[in-house]
Structure 1
Amino acid sequence: MNSRFRFSTSSHEIDRALVHSWLSEESYWAKGRTRQAQDAAIDASRNYGMFEVESGAQVAYARVITDGVTFAWLCDVFVATHARGNSIGKGLIAGVVADLEPLGLPRVLLATADAHGLYAKYGFAPLPAPDRFLARLQPGA
């Protein structure tokens, strides 16, 4: 990983306003998410960030929803536009996977429209039985 950046599992380091801006304005999956909803999601999740070593500025974010025993959902993975191309996404996902590994979770899921190659490098693959998974979506979701 690029030594100009560091990985963190500390929720206290997360720049909540910045993460909200990224997700509510720039992501395809959380456009329009309220700050209140984002803060509640952060509070209820394991949070991860990538930060510039020199300035301390946050350049990426991810969170995991889990019971810590049987299941986890990796979501809200975002790398700042200006920081892309520096292996930050790789460092972020490698750190998340390493943090979850000691839990021995039998399944960690995620959804992505465009980063299949990145996640495949860390063991993610298409669902073996997608016909067993269902979703209950709210209107507009």
Structure 2
Amino acid sequence: MSEVEISFDRDRIDFAATSAIIKASYWGAQRSDEIHRCAFDNSLCVSAFIDGEQVGFARAVTDHACFAYLCDVIVWPERRGVGIGKKLVGALLDHPDLAQVGSWSLRTTDAHSLYAGFGFEVSNDGFWMRRRR
């Protein structure tokens, strides 16, 4: 496999492909392209490329000071299992603009081991609450 390139350049995101693959996921099925445009515009986004072709995406919703929410971590199906997801997560966690962020969170039903490798733990501390519309 060629080397994976990580980029924070929004102009390189293949929006149509990224939106489509997220909408095909279990967590993004109810979203529209318009929702993704707004979400991406208001997040720190990172993409993975191999030979100039996008093969992954992730984003962090953050205030750049206290809190960040890691979301939409996705690797194109034919490229999974070779560490691209780890590179995307690592790039966000190591981004210099997020160096002082002390509280990171995320939600997953199937990738606990990926995130545990970065120090994430399942939270049952009685503090976190959630409200869904």
- Asked if TM exceeds 0.5, the reply is yes
User: Contact 2:69–2:106 (CA<8 Å) still a contact in 1?
Assistant: yes
Instruction: Find the partner of 2:121 among 125, 128, 137.
Output: 125
In the alignment, the residues of structure 1 paired with residue 114 and residue 42 of structure 2 have an alpha-carbon distance, to the nearest angstrom, of: 26
Please give the per-residue CA displacement for 1:9-32, whole angstroms capped at 9, x wherever unaligned.
12221111111100112x110103
Runs of 5+ unmatched residues, structure 2:
none
User: Contact 2:64–2:98 (CA<8 Å) still a contact in 1?
Assistant: no
Alignment of 1:52-67 (within 5 A): 52=50, 54=51, 56-67=52-63
How far 1:125 sits from its partner (Å)?
Answer: 1.1
In the alignment, the residues of structure 2 paired with residue 16 and residue 38 of structure 1 have an alpha-carbon distance, to the nearest angstrom, of: 9
In the alignment, the residues of structure 1 paired with residue 96 and residue 117 of structure 2 have an alpha-carbon distance, to the nearest angstrom, of: 16
Identity %: 33
Instruction: Find the partner of 2:86 among 65, 85, 90.
Output: 90
The equivalent of 2:10 in structure 1 is 11
The equivalent of 1:134 in structure 2 is 129
TM-score using structure 1 length: 0.88
In the alignment, the residues of structure 1 paired with residue 109 and residue 96 of structure 2 have an alpha-carbon distance, to the nearest angstrom, of: 23
RMSD between superposed Cα atoms in Å: 1.6
- For residues 77 and 102 of structure 1, do their structure 2 counterparts lie closer, same or farther at Cα, with a shift above 3 Å needed? closer
In the alignment, the residues of structure 2 paired with residue 101 and residue 120 of structure 1 have an alpha-carbon distance, to the nearest angstrom, of: 23
In the alignment, the residues of structure 2 paired with residue 49 and residue 112 of structure 1 have an alpha-carbon distance, to the nearest angstrom, of: 19
TM-score using structure 2 length: 0.93
Runs of 5+ unmatched residues, structure 1:
none
The structure carrying a bigger strand percent of its residues is: 2
